């Protein structure tokens, strides 16, 4: 395939978290890569915004993720080193839950299995270390000191900037109308013309399902409200005094929060949300903003555990979770295709994997396989009923 302004080694559709990471990794490896984004780069209509995202290695969702998370540490460090921008704050994560909490049990199990440092705390230990928290009788906690949070907008912007510096071409405001696999590669039809490549990577978040019907796996977009709260005692709610926290509430959605930090910008306050507590939406429809009732529900839930943080609501927003049927990612070759690969269904906990998913997608696009341990994320698991 002759090189031209419309011919590339790899085309990446969707330049959010995973698409930007894939473009960067491909460009680092000397590939001619085109990234296509239907919105503006750095938009807030998907899952790559909100000011902060939790990063942690004691992973209650499944221990299979931990090797990928541990590899991400060097990826985040490289992103910061090459850009000179701080992206990750490691202020620790405190997990709270009742005696039967699966979050506490599985976080400890995955941490122990992979030698991730953490401490087990009882109510007295939490009160002594973190007096901000009100811990119900009989509850337990673990504290993971090496965890914390990342700045998502900064991460995506940094990866995009570095990708372009390395030679990638990123086009924004350009909609993909369709694609087809040919005997020589891939043809992608857009509203600005046709582009060709040797392989195609689909990382379009909630929009992926519309262009990857062969996946055969339903992906459900959820609109999840987020609140920022003005603390009643701001000194207690800033890093490093306050850690990131996740509260496993029995019979209810998990409640998580991120403390105030010097580089936060706007909106001000402690960021709080209920994990996965959302409603199904059409990603192309106008997005309803977080309502006063939704924000007050978040503030009220926070007041029961962290009264010092639960002052007035300063701002609200929404995030788009794209839920797979089992809550785990899909990172795989698109069924029935030779040169099309997909990463989707990150189900509200994918951002922290940004560097390693970028690596995996670059491997797949270039060689068709990867040595990274992503076998548990294949699309075929749904067909097997596992």
Tokens 């509430």 correspond to: 249
Are 234 and 317 in a shared domain? Answer: yes
Supply the CATH number for residue 162's domain: 3.50.50.60
Q: Mean pLDDT over residues 236-256, rounded? A: 97
Supply the CATH number for residue 277's domain: 3.30.9.10
Count other C-beta atoms under 10 Å from residue 286's C-beta: 7
The Cα–Cα gap between 237 and 372 comes to: 38
Global pTM reads 0.96
Are 238 and 294 in a shared domain? Answer: yes
Are 122 and 231 in a shared domain? Answer: yes
Domains identified in the chain, total number: 2
Tell me the residue range of the domain where 282 lies: 90-149+220-321
pLDDT of residue 384: 64
Residue 69 lies in a domain: no
Q: Which residues of 207-230 are buried (b: 16+ CB within 10 A; e: fewer)?
A: bbbebbeebebebbbbbbbbbbbb
The Cα–Cα gap between 375 and 186 comes to: 25
Which of 321, 337, 367 is the endpoint of a domain? 321
Is the separation of the CB atoms in 87 and 76 below 8 Å? yes
Are 190 and 285 in a shared domain? Answer: no
Give percent of the chain above pLDDT 70.
Answer: 98
Residue 11 lies in a domain: yes
Residue 300 has pLDDT above 80, yes or no: yes
Which of 267, 300, 321 is the endpoint of a domain? 321
Residue 386 has pLDDT above 50, yes or no: no
Are 265 and 341 in a shared domain? Answer: no
Residue 56 lies in a domain: no
Give percent of the chain above pLDDT 90.
Answer: 93
Residue 121 lies in a domain: yes
Residue 64 lies in a domain: no
Q: What is the dihedral of CA 318, 71, 33, 340, to 10 degrees?
A: -80
Cα 276 from chain centroid?
13
pLDDT of residue 3: 53
Residue 248 lies in a domain: yes
Are 315 and 236 in a shared domain? Answer: yes
Are 231 and 305 in a shared domain? Answer: yes
Residue 1 has pLDDT above 70, yes or no: no
The Cα–Cα gap between 24 and 371 comes to: 19
Are 362 and 224 in a shared domain? Answer: no
Residue 80 lies in a domain: no
pLDDT of residue 385: 55
Are 262 and 305 in a shared domain? Answer: yes
Residue 4 has pLDDT above 90, yes or no: no
- Helix axis angle for 17-28 and 354-367, nearest 10°, is 60
Q: Mean pLDDT over residues 6-20, rounded? A: 97
pLDDT of residue 278: 87
Average pLDDT, the chain: 95
Q: Band of the pLDDT at 2, cuts 50, 70, 90?
A: very low
Are 22 and 139 in a shared domain? Answer: no
Are 235 and 162 in a shared domain? Answer: no
Are 134 and 239 in a shared domain? Answer: yes
Which of 296, 321, 346 is the endpoint of a domain? 321
Q: Which tens digit of pLDDT belongs to each residue from 43-59?
A: 888 888 899 999 999 99
Residue 77 lies in a domain: no
């Amino acid at each position: 395939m002759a090189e031209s302004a419309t011919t590339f080694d790899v085309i990446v559709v969707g330049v959010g978290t995973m698409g930007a990471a894939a473009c960067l990794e491909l460009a680092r490896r000397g590939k001619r890569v085109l990234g296509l984004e239907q919105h503006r780069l750095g938009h807030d209509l998907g899952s790559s915004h909100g000011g902060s995202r939790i990063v942690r290695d004691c992973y209650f969702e499944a221990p299979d993720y931990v090797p990928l998370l541990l590899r991400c540490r060097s990826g985040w460090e490289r992103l910061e080193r090459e850009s000179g921008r701080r992206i990750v704050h490691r202020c620790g994560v405190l997990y709270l839950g009742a005696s039967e909490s699966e979050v506490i049990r599985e976080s400890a199990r995955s941490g122990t299995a992979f030698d991730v440092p953490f401490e087990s705390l009882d109510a007295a230990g939490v009160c002594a270390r973190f007096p901000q928290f009100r811990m119900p009788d009989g509850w337990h906690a673990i504290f993971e000191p090496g965890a914390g949070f990342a700045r998502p907008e900064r991460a995506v912007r940094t990866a995009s900037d570095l990708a372009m510096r390395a030679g990638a071409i990123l086009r924004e405001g350009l909609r993909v109308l369709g694609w087809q696999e040919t005997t020589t590669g891939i043809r992608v039809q857009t509203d600005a013309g046709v582009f060709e490549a040797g392989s195609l990577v689909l990382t379009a978040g909630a929009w992926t399902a519309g262009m990857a019907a062969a996946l055969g796996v339903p992906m459900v977009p959820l609109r999840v409200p987020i609140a920022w709260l003005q603390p009643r005692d701001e000194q207690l709610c800033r890093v490093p005094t306050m850690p990131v926290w996740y509260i496993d509430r029995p019979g209810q959605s998990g409640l998580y929060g991120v403390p105030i930090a010097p580089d936060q910008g706007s909106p001000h306050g402690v960021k709080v949300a209920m994990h996965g507590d959302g409603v199904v939406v059409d990603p192309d429809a106008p997005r309803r903003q977080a309502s006063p009732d939704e924000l007050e529900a978040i503030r009220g839930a926070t007041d029961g555990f962290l009264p010092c943080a639960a002052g007035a609501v300063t701002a609200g927003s929404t995030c788009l979770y794209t839920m797979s049927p089992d809550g785990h990612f899909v990172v795989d070759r698109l069924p029935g295709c030779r040169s099309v690969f997909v990463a989707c269904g990150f189900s509200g906990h994918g951002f922290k994997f940004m560097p390693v998913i970028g690596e995996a997608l670059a491997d797949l696009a270039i060689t068709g396989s990867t040595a990274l341990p992503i076998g548990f994320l294949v699309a075929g698991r749904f067909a097997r009923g596992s």
